[in-house]
Amino acid sequence: MVKVGIIGASGFTGAELLRIAAHHPEYDVVYATGDSQAGIRVADLYPSLAGAYPDLVFDTFDIDKASGLDLVYLGLPHEASMAMAPQLVGHVGCIVDLSAAYRLKEASHYPTYYGFEHDQLGLLRDAVYGLPELHRAELSGATLVATPGCHVTTAVLALRPFVEAGLIELNGITIDTMTGITGAGRKPTNTNLFTSIDSNVEAYGFLTHRHTPEIEQELGAQVLLTPHLVPMSRGLLATCHARPVADAGMSTESLLALLRDRWADEPFVVVATGSPSTKATLGSNAVHVTARYDERTNTVLAIAALDNLAKGASGGAVQAANVALGLDETAGLTKIGVAP
């Protein structure tokens, strides 16, 4: 069995990791921290987990308790993860970080997009980006994995095949996303109050959203990202617009064929002929993608949907960890959504 620790298990991504871990045939969760909830039973904070963890209690972080574990997930704020990872390297088998602390290969982006200087450049260089669909070979045997952002996974899996095929212009790509309130985290703020989110849709992160350089890094193209907060608990839908290169000679049928060919062997990418929806991916590690070509405006339209807490965060982290540890990549995960 893989001995697992979850640091920051009391947050939404931590709770989702606990949910997925309960179904993982190789996992034994032996350590779960949540400093603000230390001493509280997991089942009391998240009754949905009571059946799997009736006696597990949130602990405080102690390096001695983490040392020797096969796998440690970090569900912490960005700077906290950057500070903690060096303490764990060499003491645990594999670290999977769900923050952005090790996602960006260009350290100069951190002050601009995250407001801090990166002081762990060696680890930043060594970290493997945890999107198996693009980095499976590098993930094998990795000891530090940077889990992708949810907006990034959605948009990149929708657009990357067209970039690779040289079918779309690499500048001026627009990405509009709609995301659930859990993306804002568990800590109460004015943004996630019921009275703020109920019956309301609001754009945020104008021009400088944190996931912009990450999307550009993984897509290899210039993008304008505009996220929108919508009144649902979880889910993310990305609508992407791009200009085809001259004389591309494309059609909706050819775009869909390319998506099917590129993602044919991927266990969690579903190419849809209809419109992807967040509800179809709820609770699953699946991402649903589709595309259209609009001859009238000469525009490529690519759309993708996923569960922002599952494939967009904790599920994607487990998928990457499975690859890193040489386990079945699909272990503990499903591509079947919960509906109705």
Is the per-residue pLDDT at 229 higher than 70? Answer: yes
pLDDT at 190: 74
Euclidean distance between CA atoms 98 and 183, whole angstroms: 12
pLDDT at 339: 86
List the single range of 16-25, 177-186, 189-198, 323-332 with lowest mean pLDDT: 189-198
pLDDT at 39: 93
Q: Where residue 192 falls among pLDDT bands split at 50, 70, 90?
A: confident
Is the per-residue pLDDT at 187 higher than 90? Answer: no
Fill in the amino acid letter for 21. Answer: A
Summarize pLDDT for 29-39 with one digit per residue, the tens: 999 999 889 99
pLDDT at 277: 97
Q: Where residue 57 falls among pLDDT bands split at 50, 70, 90?
A: very high
pLDDT at 255: 98
Phi, psi for 66 (deg, rounded to 5)? -80, -30
| CB neighbours of residue 6 within 10 Å | 28
Q: Where residue 40 falls among pLDDT bands split at 50, 70, 90?
A: very high
Supply 311's token pair. 């494939």
pLDDT at 186: 66
What are the catalytic residues?
150
For the entire predicted model, the pTM comes to 0.96
The pLDDT of 114-128, averaged and rounded, is 96
Residue 40: alpha-carbon gap to chain centroid: 27
Topology of domain 2-126 in CATH is Rossmann fold (3.40.50)
Summarize pLDDT for 69-79 with one digit per residue, the tens: 999 999 999 99
pLDDT at 17: 98
Superfamily of domain 150-308: Dihydrodipicolinate Reductase; domain 2 (3.30.360.10)
| CB neighbours of residue 53 within 10 Å | 19
Q: Where are the domains of the chain?
A: 2-126, 150-308
Characterise 100 by phi-psi region: left (phi > 0), alpha (psi -120 to 50), beta (else).
Answer: alpha
| CB neighbours of residue 86 within 10 Å | 12
Summarize pLDDT for 233-281 with one digit per residue, the tens: 999 999 999 999 998 899 999 999 999 999 999 999 999 999 999 999 9
Burial class (CB in 10 A: 0-12, 13-18, 19+), 123: buried
Q: Mean of the per-residue pLDDT values for the chain?
A: 95
